[in-house]
Chain A
Amino acid sequence: MGIFTVLGRYVLLLYKVFSKPEKMKIYARQTVVEIENLGLNSIGIVIIISIFIGAVITLQTRYNLENSWIPLYLIGLTARDTILLEFSSTMVGLILAGKVGSNIASEIGHMRITEQIDALEMMGINSASYLILPKIVAAVIFNPLLTIISMIVGIFGGWLAAIITGAVSSADYIYGIQYWFEPFYVTYALVKTVVYAFIITSVSAFYGYYVKGGALEVGRCSTKGVVYSSILILLFDVILTQLMLS
């Protein structure tokens, strides 16, 4: 399939996804279920990764600041800005593309090959909207919360590494994370997160929805969903950075 065919089918699918739901109450209930499946179940992995990456950023920054005339509070500042600007939005986005994206693609792909999507259509239900819209809404609502959790835990992980290893004093680190704080960085990270949430859910769902064949093809569509979501996340990272920070 050519790129324009894929793009056209993706746009047509989104048109179906965003058409008026049959019964708002059912969709709202489904969105809550998806918040649990896609969001709450991802908190653990986000916390674990954020705490370790926060620690590594702090230690690596200390390792690179050997000159005694550079103030050590810059380690806290560097850790904070790296986490706010890039890690908690983009890196967590890439991790979620792997975890949530593959989950969505394989779930919808399985429903396609076992005719469950046909069964929904035969009931008179807009299957694309029923299956995909709650996932998009859930991710767009909940992923910013994951990003905020990641920011807090990441900075805490950096502080923990600092005091355990003695790389920098607690006072210097805390002064650094408060120094020259730019609240817009948080807005920038949250805007990116919302865009990534949409990309992860819609692209993975697209590959699952149009899968043909059997179990092998479901596996392939899951991989495709993750790979293309990740590429698009990186592409939009560049675009949004140029738009919002330049």
Chain B
Amino acid sequence: MISVANIYKLFGKETVLKDISVTFDQGKSNLIIGRSGSGKTVLLKSIVGLHDVDRGAIYFDNRNFLEMSDKQKQELRKEMGMLFQGTALFDSLTVEENIIFPLQMFTDMTYDEKIERVNTCLKMVNLEKVNHLYPAELSGGMKKRVGIARAIVQSPKYLFCDEPNSGLDPITALVIDKLISDITHELNITTIVNTHDMNSVMEIGEKVVFIHEGIKCWEGTKDEILNSDDKYLNNFVFASNLAKKIKKMK
């Protein structure tokens, strides 16, 4: 479980996150949604410590992240996995080398054990026979899957996904969504996904948090989202003409 309490984040004089408090549940796919520039990525990167917050508290299972030393944060990060928007795969390394990298750094496993773990993770994301390919030789969807495999190779307790569907066609996007959801349930981890894709929300949104201009406006489940009274949320959810027509029909 991850709890965020009253966090503020400023860039210069501009307040990007304003008094955000929310709890992300274990074993669920927690989605942060909102328009581009609403502060979703800043919130996600603040939670994992890639941005320093100006005020507030962040708890990972009751451990206060912001009060930890750099060394303690580094240790806690070994319990985290993250899929970046652009996948952030090391382009000079092969798929296998990318995934094995954290294992080489932090474990005393034998080479065979590491390879076995890599292959298990690749199987979990439905990829095979790509071990020796470089990221440049993969499609967008395959890169995302390798990114997920790398994120879960150390069996994390917390998984963070920043816009996992960006740049993917709707069908591949659904495959990635299902993958994230399955991994979350299978490993019983706390997963936070940043997205503005309503298909993702309706597929895997067990808990949904809506951010508008740096403020948390709404939280609930995917089933509650369609009946919400929040003006900004409705503008976001029913942005297209098709969605508006469907809402009127309801």
Contacts and interface: CB of A to CB of B under 8 A. Distances in A.
A125 B102 CA distance: 8
A32 to B, nearest CB: 15
B64 to A, nearest CB: 18
A122 B85 contact: no
B105 A118 contact: no
Interface residues of A, number: 14
Given A122-B77, A124-B78, A26 B104 contact: yes
Interface string B69-99: 0000011111011101110111100000000
A243 interface: no
B48 interface: yes
A111 B77 CA distance: 19
B105 A115 contact: no
Contacts of A118: 45, 50, 82, 84, 88
Interface in A104-147: 114-116, 118-119, 121-126
Interface string A15-32: 000000011001000000
B88 A114 contact: yes
Contact of B105 (A114, A119, A123): A123
Contact of B84 (A22, A119, A124, A125): A119
Contacts of B154: 123
The binding surface of chain A is classed by DSSP as loop
A125 B101 CA distance: 10
A114 B86 contact: yes
Contact of A116 (B50, B78, B88, B160): B88
Contacts of A119: 82, 84, 88-90
B48 A122 contact: yes
Nearest to B73: A124
B22 to A, nearest CB: 21
B126 to A, nearest CB: 22
B78 to A, nearest CB: 4
Contact of B85 (A23, A115, A124, A126): A115
Contacts of B49: 121
B92 to A, nearest CB: 9
B74 A124 contact: yes
B101 A123 contact: yes
Contacts of A116: 88-91
A218 to B, nearest CB: 14
B50 A22 contact: no
A216 B95 CA distance: 28
Given A116-B88, A118-B88, A124 B75 contact: yes
B90 A126 contact: no
Interface in B13-49: 45, 48-49
Given A26-B104, A115-B86, A122-B80, 5 more contacts: A23-B104, A118-B88, A119-B84, A121-B49, A124-B74
25 contacts: A22-B105, A22-B106, A23-B105, A26-B104, A26-B105, A114-B86, A115-B85, A116-B88, A118-B50, A118-B88, A119-B82, A119-B88, A119-B89, A121-B50, A121-B77, A122-B48, A122-B77, A122-B81, A122-B82, A122-B160, A123-B77, A123-B101, A124-B106, A125-B74, A125-B105
